[in-house]
């Protein structure tokens, strides 16, 4: 889920490395929250069903066991279990719950380091306040106006929720691969590059090639061919290959070159 209003946070790690992280906005965090809540509701439903099945032979009910405190006990138990899920998941899953993982989000500390158990406990304890008066209205309003999309729990714990760049790269690669599979069925093109020529490809060359190929699905045919010709000329000069065999099919050449080099450059 892309959000045009996502903001960028600049953090400096203890090793004095400057990182530029894209914060997760209200929309993607709400989607992750809904996914987590649905997962918790399913877990509560399963536990309730199993509890009921266990108590049936004894002709017992929850109300009989706890009397007038049954509902209060269940509410407190559900709140504790929910808080434990968020805190432990974020700590043991490197800043992610299952909902955050599905949406490509991650909680980190303000210095870019992984979230600690204490910070995970603090930020999730403050969910009680962020939830007020209902359905996270307080947390949503605070996030909307905060320059780094922080809710109150993030302020208290010194954390920030960012977009997981590796997740986005995998998503782009998977989408690109599906498109390339269809492309290659329609454009038969064979390409072999000597090992000596491969070694001449530098990081800037690969970034240019990858950026073009991964944008091909969104380019119109005229723009696609125009860019392909310009990039092909540059790469052929770098590889010291003859232009003639490839000038008629520059886009196909770039696609095959991308596939040949992706294993060594995508590590």
pTM assigned to the model: 0.71
Cα 244 to chain centroid, rounded: 43
| Residue with the two structure tokens 């399913």 | 42
Task: State how far the Cα of 205 lies from the Cα of 238, in Å rounded to an integer.
Answer: 9
How many beta carbons lie within 10 A of that of residue 44, not counting itself? 15
Considering the chain, what is the average pLDDT of its residues?
83
pLDDT of amino acid 36: 95
Task: State how far the Cα of 88 lies from the Cα of 261, in Å rounded to an integer.
Answer: 40
How many beta carbons lie within 10 A of that of residue 255, not counting itself? 24
Q: What is the DSSP string of 94-152?
A: TS--HHHHHHTEEEEETTSPBPPHHHHHHHHHTHHHHTTTTTTHHHHHHHHHSTT---H
pLDDT of amino acid 4: 42
Sign of CA dihedral 224, 230, 235, 241: positive
pLDDT of amino acid 180: 80
Task: State how far the Cα of 215 lies from the Cα of 132, in Å rounded to an integer.
Answer: 43
Q: Does position 2 have pLDDT exceeding 50, yes or no?
A: no
| Per-residue DSSP letter, 160 | E
pLDDT bin (cut points 50, 70, 90) of residue 6 is low
């Amino acid at each position: 889920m892309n959000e045009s209003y996502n903001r960028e946070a600049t953090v400096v790690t203890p090793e004095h490395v400057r990182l530029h992280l894209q914060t997760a906005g209200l929309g993607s965090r709400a989607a992750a929250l809904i996914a987590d809540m649905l997962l918790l509701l399913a877990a509560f439903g399963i536990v309730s069903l199993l509890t009921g099945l266990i108590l049936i032979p004894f002709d017992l009910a929850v109300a009989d066991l706890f009397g007038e405190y049954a509902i209060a006990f269940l509410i407190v138990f559900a709140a504790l279990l929910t808080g434990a899920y968020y805190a432990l998941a974020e700590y043991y899953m490197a800043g992610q719950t299952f909902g955050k993982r599905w949406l490509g989000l991650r909680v980190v500390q303000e210095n870019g380091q992984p979230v600690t158990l204490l910070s995970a406990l603090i930020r999730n304890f403050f969910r009680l306040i962020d939830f007020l008066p209902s359905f996270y209205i307080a947390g949503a309003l605070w996030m909307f106006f905060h320059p780094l999309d922080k809710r109150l729990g993030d302020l208290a714990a010194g954390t920030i929720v960012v977009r997981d760049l590796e997740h986005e790269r995998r998503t782009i690669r998977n989408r690109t691969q599906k498109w390339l599979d269809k492309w290659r069925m329609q454009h038969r093109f064979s390409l072999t590059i000597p090992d000596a020529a491969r070694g001449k490809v530098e990081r800037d060359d690969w970034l240019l090639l990858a950026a073009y190929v991964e944008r091909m699905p969104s380019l119109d045919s005229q723009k696609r061919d125009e860019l392909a010709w310009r990039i092909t000329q540059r790469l052929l000069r770098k590889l010291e290959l003859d232009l003639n065999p490839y000038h008629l099919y520059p886009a196909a050449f770039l696609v095959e070159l991308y596939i040949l080099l992706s294993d060594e450059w995508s590590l």
